[in-house]
Amino acid sequence: MRILVVEDDPLIGDGLKMGLGQLGFVVDWFRQGREGLAALSAAPFDAVVLDLGLPGMDGMDILAAWRQAGQDVPVLVLTARDTLDERLQGLDAGADDYLVKPFALSEVAARLRALIRRRHGQSVSRLVHGAVSFDPVARTAWLDDKALELTARELALLELLLSSKGRVLSRELIEEKLYGWGQELESNAVEVYVHHLRKKLGAGFIRTQRGIGYALGELQ
């Protein structure tokens, strides 16, 4: 899942990028308000972590601009201000959730997953398709109750496919969901990961829609 982080503090921003990366998210981090504002429409982000005190443009203004433009991406607001007034103001401006500093990285991850799940209309956190199940918190996948050995990218692709049931995902979209800006990407990377997953989960698990992209295979 690809997350946009807009945070001016170098230590918090770096920590979110590294930490969320380890927790299975693909993170793009911007320190300036205006850059963050523009970034959202440039890639298919699943959620946004937005700090309110930003140079250049205030977090609240960015949020208002996004909502005005019809962006409905879930936004988790980070704030150092904890008065009720300020929290309400944030929620009214279109934030989906907020965290008051200092916060735990694991809580940011949990809330992001909950926001994304809610957006996809899922109420349980474990994703299941046939004999394959995936736990986004533990970052573990099972085939017939047997834990699978998958790399981070393979898990990310599996999560993406399981959370997009019934949809065909283009190769470009998969690339954008799996790689942040600035990350190196082989031209046939998606094909390689699809190949690996098919080997481990069965050839019919991923269906190729020629000329369009990939989707979950039909259940037998």
Q: How many helices (H) and strands (E) does the chain have?
A: 8, 11
- Judged by beta carbon, residue 10 or residue 204, the one nearer another protein is 10
Instruction: Supply 121's token pair.
Output: 């209309």
146: Cβ contacts below 8 Å, ≥ 6 apart: none
Choices 35-43, 76-84, 158-166, 193-201; region in contact with another protein by CB under 8 A: 76-84
Q: Which of 38, 69, 106, 199 binds another protein (CB under 8 A)?
A: 106
Under 8 Å between Cβ of 59 and 53: yes
110 binds another protein per the rule CB under 8 A: no
Q: Which residue blocks in the chain are alpha helix, DSSP H? A: 10-22, 33-39, 59-68, 84-92, 105-119, 152-162, 171-178, 189-201
- The nearest distance, CB 50 to another protein, in angstroms, is 14
Q: Residue type for 218, please?
A: E
Choices 7-15, 120-128, 169-177, 207-215; region in contact with another protein by CB under 8 A: 7-15
Alpha-carbon distance of 42 to 38, in angstroms, equals 7
Binders of another protein among 18-37, rule CB under 8 A? Answer: 18-19, 22-23, 31-32
Q: Which of 44, 56, 130, 213 binds another protein (CB under 8 A)?
A: 56
Residues that bind another protein (CB under 8 A): 8-12, 14-16, 18-19, 22-23, 31-32, 54-56, 78, 80-81, 100-106
